[in-house]
């Protein structure tokens, strides 16, 4: 998982272009948040979520092709597990949204303070998972060591083997040995597959 200080990447999926633009405008005002995509078509939104692996998907509920709940199901069906925050004008969906494991629920028109609070709740939740939940799962399920978990954390921050070696005061050869061991223990054939596993575990 990413460091809490790194950018939170966001995808916006809403059939109204004006709503997409407004959400993007609000998110651009929040520190360490990056909008990496906007889609007004549900199917294209699903494809972009699978392609981009965003941290958060801001998702409308009522859309012509698929509703928000169907979009979540489709993305999960492709083994991609971002956090979903519903943004809609229909407050009757609040309870159903919670039952469908949406992280948060914002009503249109979204207020900048409410958006900032939602982002900060997400950031706090990620920090908690980074420091306690995910390491515990990696240790119990795959017998990873503390050093291997630290290397995974640095990999998720985009660090190269050389940079990891400099941070941890170990050789590149040692880092690469740890990386091979991590992939073997987790039965993942690549770093990308490892990251997909981490998204599922969180």
Domains of the chain: 8-124 (3.40.50.2300), 143-201 (1.10.10.10)
Name the pTM for this structure: 0.69
pLDDT in tens, 18-76: 999 999 999 999 999 999 999 999 999 999 999 999 999 999 998 998 999 999 999 99
Q: In what order do the strands lie in the sheet with 56-59?
A: 33-39, 8-13, 56-59, 83-88, 104-107
- Choose between 94 and 64: higher pLDDT: 64
Q: What is the predicted pLDDT for the residue at 157?
A: 81
Q: How many CA atoms lie within 13 A of 124 on its CB side?
A: 7
Mean pLDDT of the chain: 88
Task: Say if residues 110 and 87 touch (Cβ distance below 8 Å).
Answer: yes
Does residue 1 register a pLDDT over 60? no
* Banded model confidence at residue 132, pLDDT cuts 50, 70, 90: confident
């Amino acid at each position: 998982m990413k460091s809490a200080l790194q950018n939170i990447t966001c995808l916006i999926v809403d059939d109204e272009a004006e709503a997409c633009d407004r959400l993007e405008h609000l998110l651009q005002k929040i520190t360490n948040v990056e909008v990496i995509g906007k889609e007004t078509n549900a199917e294209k939104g699903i494809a972009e979520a699978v392609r981009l692996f965003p941290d958060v998907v801001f998702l409308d509920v009522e859309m012509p092709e698929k509703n928000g709940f169907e979009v979540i199901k489709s993305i999960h069906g492709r083994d991609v597990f971002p956090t979903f925050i519903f943004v809609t004008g229909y407050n009757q969906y609040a309870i159903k949204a919670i039952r469908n494991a949406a992280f948060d629920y914002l009503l249109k028109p979204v207020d900048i303070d409410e958006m900032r609070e939602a982002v900060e709740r997400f950031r706090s939740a990620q920090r908690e998972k980074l420091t306690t939940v995910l390491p515990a799962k990696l240790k119990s399920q795959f017998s990873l060591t503390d050093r291997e978990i630290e290397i995974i954390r640095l990999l998720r921050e985009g660090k190269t083997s050389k940079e990891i070696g400099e941070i941890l005061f170990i050789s590149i050869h040692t880092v690469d040995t740890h990386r091979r061991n991590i992939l073997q223990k987790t039965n993942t054939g690549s770093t990308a597959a490892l990251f997909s596993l981490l998204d599922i575990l969180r």
